[in-house]
Structure 1
Amino acid sequence: MANKTTKDSKITSPLDDLSATPRNPRGVAMGAAFLMAMAAVGPGFLTQTATFTGQMGANFGFAILICIIFDIIVQMNVWRIIVVSGKKAQVIANDIFPGLGYFLSFLVGLGGLFFNIGNVGGAGLGLNVLFGISPENGAVIAAALAILIFVVKNALTVMDRTVQVLAFVKVAILVYIIFIMAVPYHEAVQHTFLPTKIDFYSIVTIVGGTVGGYISFSGGHRLIEGGLRGKQNIKYVNEGALTGIGIASVIRVLLFLAGLAVVVAGNQLDPTNPAASIFKIAAGNFGYKFFGILLFAAGMTSILGSTFTSTSFLDYAVGSQKGTFAKYRKVLILSFIIVSTVIFYFIGNPAKVLVFVGAANGFVLPISLAILLIAGSSAKIIGTYKHPKWLTYSGWLVVLFMAYASLKTVIGLF
């Protein structure tokens, strides 16, 4: 790479400008952890989990287990390689092969846009449950709130705090629902580890909807934005990734158990809003209102995560360089949210959208993870850092499995 000097900095190698550590690295790591976790358990996850639990019962626990295992492998690989390189994923991809970063940006950005249509729809549905306003008008209100968070001073800090508060709301509501229900724990554990039926479409969808697409990059890009770069920050990467995975996994398991309790009792879930059925059946109208809060919280956190990460893929600056992205960032964020909201306003039907985009992002995962794994073996990109072999090998297993499962899913559609 040719040496370059800019007004802001002098970059003499791909790994220069990585020695600085932000004043509060643990705070940055926790911000990334919650952003990733809440993006992973948004309206799409609520809808997908309820839908497949209704169809498969306790056997869907196996898909949840695979999702958690894949989450650990994917996030640990992606976060480490991004932070050690000091570059965002699209820049890394261009270093591997010129133009590859633009292709990756297109895949992630398009998937993020589709997901955000469901996110604003989910938040709108939450307000519909709570206040009776139309989901479309609720989506407009949610979009306006998200825009307000992004345009205020210290937007990243405000985003982090908002996501953390909404995460607490999510967990508290799910714990309450589990507490008042008769959950078939024995059946759940048995079929999770010894399923009598394995459905590849459900695995591709739930993994794609909670690990694939923009979600696998949300934490890593938040760390870069917060100033965590270089191998000396690996311990904060580990703390952030494992915390985020832990939070997301708890919410995944709680929602699955709640849905299973309702299904095992012989209840049928409403296909137009299966997640709402779980709460209404479990706790009547009171539970239904709780679901409205949960869905609104899930929608808002996912709007923030999807918008932040998808638009970050338009930034091709290296190190502390300031590109045109910084100048137009707020305009891009505004446009991303508005376009998503307008599309939802005229299309509607978020339940079907959320299941479809989860499956679509399942196809993106093996491509994006393969790119990062190749980068993890390149000294040009990661310098003297030695990426753990167990992460490399397990990462390639995820790539192969998701590629196989995705192809099998497509073949099964014909």
Structure 2
Amino acid sequence: MKNPQVPTNPDNKRLRSAALGAAFLMAMAAVGPGFLTQTATFTGQLGANFGFAILVCIIVDIIVQLNIWRIIIVSGKRAQVIANEVFPGLGYLLSFLVAMGGLFFNIGNIGGAGLGLNVLFGISPENGALIAAAIAIIVLIIKNALKAMDITVQILAVIKIGILLYILSVMTVPYGTAAVHAFDPSNVNFYSIVTIVGGTVGGYISFSGGHRLLEGGAHGPQSIKYVNEGALTGIGIASVIRVMLFLAGLAVVTAGFKLDPANPAASIFKYAAGNFGYKFFGLLLFASGMSSTLGSTFTSTSFLDYAVSDRGGAMFKRYRSSFIIGFIIVSTAIFYFIGNPAQVLVVVGALNGFVLPIALAILLLASRKQPIMGIQYHHPAWLTWTGWLVVIFMAYAGVRTIMGLF
């Protein structure tokens, strides 16, 4: 007789596929238009010293994602449900913070995709945003939407990496300078750290992979190996893209070229490869905007689901398409009135950096509660301690950032 706790071969294949989908969803959400803009902006301001923020971001990413994915999957519950079990009502606060951050990030995501189409085909950014919004809605509400989303973000990932490899191949990159300052910076800028961490692992991005893996059927301690596979693969993909973009920006800055503050990321590609590079940037921006729109919409709307029974879950699924359509329409509409998505993306990245210590602290508290995690599970001590160090560091960096603004 088979042990029901041990996945069979078909289950292994399905869960491994879900882990891969979760990895790419998290990675591509983390390196959207916000990351392009933030990285270019701070590389222009800080030069090689920004490598230290990238390094901190990667370390924080590993700690945060392994903690959050593991706690969600072992408990078999979405983060907002866990938060409500830690303290009644806390889940609603977490949902509000994540969904609002995701909504404002989505304004920049949709705007970024629209700007990408503007660069590629000359259509207005507003009309480009409408096209991007329509594509995102179709991908997220069709039959087998999870599979369609997984395939789409994987294709977009290949496009991003290919473009960045080309740009690095035609530039003179100061690898030695970047490596030295990453470990021994001459200037530590806390605002850049809070912003880049918030833009790549804060807010909804922290939960995108965990919630995707949960919807793929992973739950309980027996699924931890899929947590490790998915989280580490996603972190690896996101980190490679982060470092590549930073190096491309640093090559441009050290060559003496000043980035355009209105569109700093575009400056990198235009300087590196002229008009051809600028078109490449348009494709990269469209790919980034689309992948992050899918990640933001999927994760933010998943925070509206408080179902703890099959009946409640079925009810949420019945209305989920309406939530998705509404979320994307509102984001697109706001883009028309706010404009300037570059500035929005940097500011929202910083705000999501403030959400991170709150969200992580809630789940770390949950990891010690047997009614949530089960009697047999014990959260690894190294994840607990490093997780609390991230909470303290990000709270401290956030306070330093606020003090620096006054």
The TM-score range, normalised by the shorter chain, is: over 0.9
SS in 2 for 1:24: helix
Question: Paired residue for 2:316?
Answer: 325
Question: Paired residue for 2:62?
Answer: 72
Matched residues in 1 for 2:46 and 2:109: separation?
A: 25
Distance apart, 1:134 and its partner CA? 1.1
Is the 1:38–1:248 Cα contact (8 Å) retained in structure 2? yes
Question: Paired residue for 1:365?
Answer: 356
* Residue from 78, 87, 91 that aligns with 1:97: 87
**Percent identical:** 74
1:340–1:18 CA distance, 2 compared to 1 (3 A): farther
Matched residues in 1 for 2:391 and 2:134: separation?
A: 38
Question: Paired residue for 1:404?
Answer: 396
Is the 1:18–1:319 Cα contact (8 Å) retained in structure 2? no
Note if 1:123 corresponds to 2:103: no
Note if 1:159 corresponds to 2:149: yes
Note if 1:293 corresponds to 2:283: yes
Equivalence map 1:296-307=2 (5 Å): 296-307=286-297
Question: Paired residue for 1:256?
Answer: 246
* Residue from 250, 269, 273 that aligns with 1:279: 269
1:264–1:319 CA distance, 2 compared to 1 (3 A): farther
Is the 1:136–1:348 Cα contact (8 Å) retained in structure 2? no
CA RMSD of aligned residues (A): 1.2
SS in 2 for 1:271: coil
Matched residues in 2 for 1:49 and 1:321: separation?
A: 44
Note if 1:335 corresponds to 2:326: yes
Equivalence map 1:15-414=2 (5 Å): 22=11, 24-318=14-308, 320-323=310-313, 324-383=315-374, 384-414=376-406
SS in 2 for 1:322: helix
Distance apart, 1:345 and its partner CA? 1.2
Distance apart, 1:387 and its partner CA? 0.9
Task: Tell me the alpha carbon deviations over residues 309-361 of structure 1, each in whole angstroms, 9 at most, x when there is no partner.
Answer: 00000001126443432111000000000000000012110100000000000
Matched residues in 2 for 1:222 and 1:29: separation?
A: 8
SS in 2 for 1:72: helix
Q: Larger helix proportion, structure 1 or 2?
A: 2
Is the 1:19–1:229 Cα contact (8 Å) retained in structure 2? no
Task: Tell me the alpha carbon deviations over residues 274-323 of structure 1, each in whole angstroms, 9 at most, x when there is no partner.
Answer: 00000000000000000000000000000000000000000011264434
Matched residues in 1 for 2:169 and 2:327: separation?
A: 39
Compute the TM-score of the two structures, normalised by the length of structure 2.
0.96
Is the 1:90–1:104 Cα contact (8 Å) retained in structure 2? yes
Distance apart, 1:65 and its partner CA? 0.1
Matched residues in 1 for 2:284 and 2:151: separation?
A: 17
| 4+ aligned runs moved over 6 Å, structure 1 | 17-21
Matched residues in 1 for 2:404 and 2:5: separation?
A: 47
Flag structure 2 segments of 5+ consecutive residues without an equivalent. Answer: none
Matched residues in 1 for 2:228 and 2:309: separation?
A: 22
Aligned partner letter, 2:170? I
Distance apart, 1:19 and its partner CA? 7.2
Matched residues in 2 for 1:162 and 1:104: separation?
A: 28
Distance apart, 1:137 and its partner CA? 1.1
Aligned partner letter, 1:278? I
SS in 1 for 2:312: coil
Q: How many residues align?
A: 398
Is the 1:115–1:354 Cα contact (8 Å) retained in structure 2? yes
1:299–1:18 CA distance, 2 compared to 1 (3 A): farther
Distance apart, 1:20 and its partner CA? 6.7
Matched residues in 1 for 2:309 and 2:213: separation?
A: 13
Task: Tell me the alpha carbon deviations over residues 210-264 of structure 1, each in whole angstroms, 9 at most, x when there is no partner.
Answer: 0000000000000111110111010111000000000000000000000000000
Matched residues in 2 for 1:411 and 1:18: separation?
A: 51
Compute the TM-score of the two structures, normalised by the length of structure 1.
0.95
Task: Tell me the alpha carbon deviations over residues 362-400 of structure 1, each in whole angstroms, 9 at most, x when there is no partner.
Answer: 000000000010011111111121111101000000000
Is the 1:129–1:288 Cα contact (8 Å) retained in structure 2? yes
Is the 1:87–1:319 Cα contact (8 Å) retained in structure 2? no
